[in-house]
Amino acid sequence: MAAEYRHNPNGRKEKNPVRRTTAFSLTVTHALSTLLQNLNLSRGAEQMRTVKIFFMTVFSTALFFSFAGAAEKPYVPEAGSDEIGAKKTAAVPYDKSLPDVLIIGDSISIGYTPYVIEGLRGVANVIRIKGNGQGTRFGVENIDKWILHEKPWAVIHFNWGLHDLKRWANGRNSSNPNDPRQAEIDVYEKNMELLVSKLAGTKAKLIFATTTPYPSGVVPWRDPEDAARYNDVALRIMQKNGIQTDDLYTAIQPKLAEFQKPKNVHFEPGGSKFLADAVVKSIKAALEGK
């Protein structure tokens, strides 16, 4: 049976929902077994077969929803994200003769990717992962499928950090500064090391984009100084592995008053365009071998 407690991604001990679910399934299994044995005494073989199928269907359904209830809450976009009410942009035809560029990131990259696609039109096929790349834990769980591709990636432009440093409790975002971060900085470092090793295995030219700054008072709670702290950890890893960096944190810093949404981590369209220009420049340099 699963352990009664487990360590969450922050290294903290918490009740294991799998243990609770396993105990529930054993209890229901025993009850059904007793019931079916009693029914065997008074039912014919064909009737018993129908009854068993019925009860096992009910049991399977109950077990499924028990596991679903124990799982982490579904991802919900944060206020101000371009994930909310985003308009679909016209698809750019895929050109087999051009190199393929992969973008991995959170909602900040969702905001700037359409401008990057336009900025690299005729230069590269820009492909972004589906949805929000979230934090490093989610990245570790999905990186293998994200990097799977028909032909070798020429460039992979990636970022994690903004979700790792937000407050997180009971499987959801938290506005309580006393709650743990989704991934404390030591866990972030460990996850980033693993992710970089996976990305390096593609043989693509890698570019790490630093996490962009944000003001105090954002929801969910994030300490403003954590962006620089987490960036420092990531940059040490990039330097150790010889990976190019795209310092979006420094680039956007003087423009925050102009481009950042009030008390929000996200940017107005002008801010996303500003970030995209920096991303396009870094990708072009990588493609040109500079």
User: pLDDT digit string (tens) for 222-252?
Assistant: 999 999 999 999 999 999 999 999 999 999 9
Q: Is residue 75 part of a domain?
A: no
Instruction: Tell me the β-bridge partners of 271.
Output: none
**Domain-terminating residue out of 49, 70, 91:** 70
Q: What is the pLDDT of residue 64?
A: 46
Q: Do 186 and 64 share a structural domain? A: no
Q: What is the pLDDT of residue 210?
A: 98
Do 55 and 186 belong together in one domain? no
188: nearest Cα among 9, 1, 3: 9
Buried b (16+ CB within 10 A) or exposed e, 173-211: bbeeeebbbbbeeebbbebbeebbeebeebebbbbbbbb
What is the pLDDT, as a whole number, of residue 91? 80
Q: Do 59 and 127 sit in the same domain of this protein?
A: no
pLDDT tens digits for range 207-230: 999 999 999 999 999 999 999 999
**Whether residue 51 sits in one domain with residue 110:** no
Q: What stretches of 71-171 show up as alpha helix (H) in DSSP?
A: 107-119, 136-147
Residue with token string 């991604």:
9
CATH number of the domain enclosing 144: 3.40.50.1110
Same domain, 117 and 56: no
Query: Do 40 and 104 fall into the same domain?
Result: no
Closest CA to 18 of 8, 28, 4: 4
Is the domain of 115 the same as that of 48?
no
Measured CA to CA, the distance from residue 169 to residue 53 in angstroms comes to 40
Give tens-digit pLDDT for 247-284: 999 999 999 999 999 999 999 999 999 999 999 999 99
Q: Are residues 221 and 135 in the same domain?
A: yes
Average pLDDT, stretch 122-139?
97
Q: Are the C-beta atoms of residues 22 and 1 closer than 8 Å to each other?
A: yes
Give 104's strand partners: 158
CA dihedral 282, 204, 96, 151 (to 10 degrees): -160
What is the three-class DSSP state of 187?
Answer: helix
- pLDDT higher than 50, residue 205: yes
Domain of residue 51, residue span? 5-70
- Residues 42, 106: one domain? no
Residue 199 pLDDT grade (very low, low, confident, very high; cuts 50, 70, 90): very high
Give the pLDDT score at 57.
55
Residue 85: predicted pLDDT: 74
Number of folded domains that form the chain: 2
Q: Residues 39-45: what's their mean pLDDT? A: 55
